[in-house]
Homo-oligomer: A and B are copies of this chain.
């Protein structure tokens, strides 16, 4: 089931963004007919020799074949890459030895076509768990793509080819100063259910032409991911396949000493822009949560530390009762109190305060007497819902804070997920 029939999320951006070119990168797509019919479902991103790559993957103990191989290749190649291959429709997870053989066949074929070592080819697969992946149509697609001429809209095609239940193609792009050059940072992603940290996205791929060596690239990704992709949750369900890869073609050089650390001052604008792009796409994933009618932003402050704040924020974001209350446009802050309470993290009931849409509703462990419900009711009828909780444990600059994004839990989620496979 391709879900081509799903209506575009009401929270979707008006249009697909304009993406800046990334020097040296080639994006190719094809309809492999592996599972979906009549649509592109296969992406090949070809990178110039010497490209750097960094990755973050699902923490599931049941990772897909592709996740296993990405981890191996990252180590073996010391963070270098010549291509990324992505297929949509079949996750190639829980497929045993056959699954590994299929992935090896596809990767080996791509390596031969590109005359590159296999461990510089990265694969990502998304779709149904437990279904066998046939390498034959994918290898045929690789042949076809390698001899095809470049498309006019490669980014839109690429973002579309990796979709499963997504109702819109997800991407963001920035240009940023890089020494004497301008460089691009582009990210495409897919994911709308089975979304929970860590990782938050199912699949996301970032590309830049900045000259960033592998170790620095990985450190950057590890820094930015927790505040962006791993701060999104749709249904608390962590996929077997979550993969975030960030590639640098390295064609735009910096002057001066080689980059050794993410603290290098020359990286500052790039870091900020990377965070912007990743946050933009991460929020698009929450906006496309299955059945989503409202985007919920949850801010937690006053916690013991940032990690504790993040866990509390995720407990609120994953609470079915909070999410259904938002769906019902009910400012039911009692359920927010409940969710803080169940997080297992330190929180002071008698100092807890809550704001909804910026309006205080509870303070020092009880409702604010006679607060005006009208502006809050109006806020709840909107598309963007803001919940802010101060848990009253710490104050000042050392108090822990976190922000996460999620969506409401609606009849749409049930409809989509009660008849996905069949």
**Is residue A319 contacting chain B, with contact meaning CB distance below 8 A?**
yes
**Is residue A117 contacting chain B, with contact meaning CB distance below 8 A?**
no
Q: Which residues does chain B contribute within 8 Å of A420, judged by CB atoms?
A: 325, 328, 330, 332
Please report A residues at the B interface, Cβ cutoff 8 Å. 58-63, 91, 93-96, 98-99, 128-131, 193-194, 196, 235-240, 318-321, 324-325, 327-328, 330, 332-335, 337-347, 349-350, 352, 362, 364-367, 409-411, 413-415, 417-422
Q: Which residues does chain B contribute within 8 Å of A330, judged by CB atoms?
A: 418-422
- Are B236 and A347 interface neighbours, CB within 8 A? no
- Are A364 and B96 interface neighbours, CB within 8 A? yes
16 additional A-B pairs beyond A63-B341, A94-B337, A324-B414, beta carbons within 8 Å, are A60-B338, A60-B341, A61-B349, A62-B352, A94-B349, A94-B366, A95-B366, A96-B364, A194-B338, A325-B417, A330-B421, A410-B418, A411-B411, A411-B414, A411-B415, A414-B414
Known: A321-B194, A350-B96. A239 touches B332 (CB 8 A): no
Partner of A320, one of B63, B236, B365: B236
**Distance in Å from the Cβ of A385 to the closest Cβ of chain B?**
14
Secondary structure at the A interface, as helix, strand, loop or mixed, is loop
Which 9 interchain pairs have the tightest Cβ spacing?
A: A129-B334, A62-B341, A328-B418, A60-B341, A96-B366, A324-B417, A238-B342, A130-B334, A235-B320
**Distance in Å from the Cβ of A201 to the closest Cβ of chain B?**
15
Cα A414 to Cα B420 in complex, Å, equals 19
**Distance in Å from the Cβ of A123 to the closest Cβ of chain B?**
18
Cα A52 to Cα B332 in complex, Å, equals 38
- Are B99 and A321 interface neighbours, CB within 8 A? no
- Are B411 and A339 interface neighbours, CB within 8 A? no
- Are A94 and B129 interface neighbours, CB within 8 A? no
Cα A341 to Cα B95 in complex, Å, equals 15
Q: Which residues does chain B contribute within 8 Å of A324, judged by CB atoms?
A: 413-414, 417-418
Q: Which residues does chain B contribute within 8 Å of A328, judged by CB atoms?
A: 417-420, 422
- Are B62 and A338 interface neighbours, CB within 8 A? yes
Cα A321 to Cα B94 in complex, Å, equals 17
- Are B129 and A338 interface neighbours, CB within 8 A? yes
**Distance in Å from the Cβ of A56 to the closest Cβ of chain B?**
16
Q: Which residues does chain B contribute within 8 Å of A194, judged by CB atoms?
A: 321, 338
Partner of A237, one of B321, B344, B419, B422: B321
Known: A94-B337, A338-B62. A320 touches B413 (CB 8 A): yes
- Are B340 and A61 interface neighbours, CB within 8 A? yes
Cα A330 to Cα B129 in complex, Å, equals 14
**Distance in Å from the Cβ of A127 to the closest Cβ of chain B?**
10
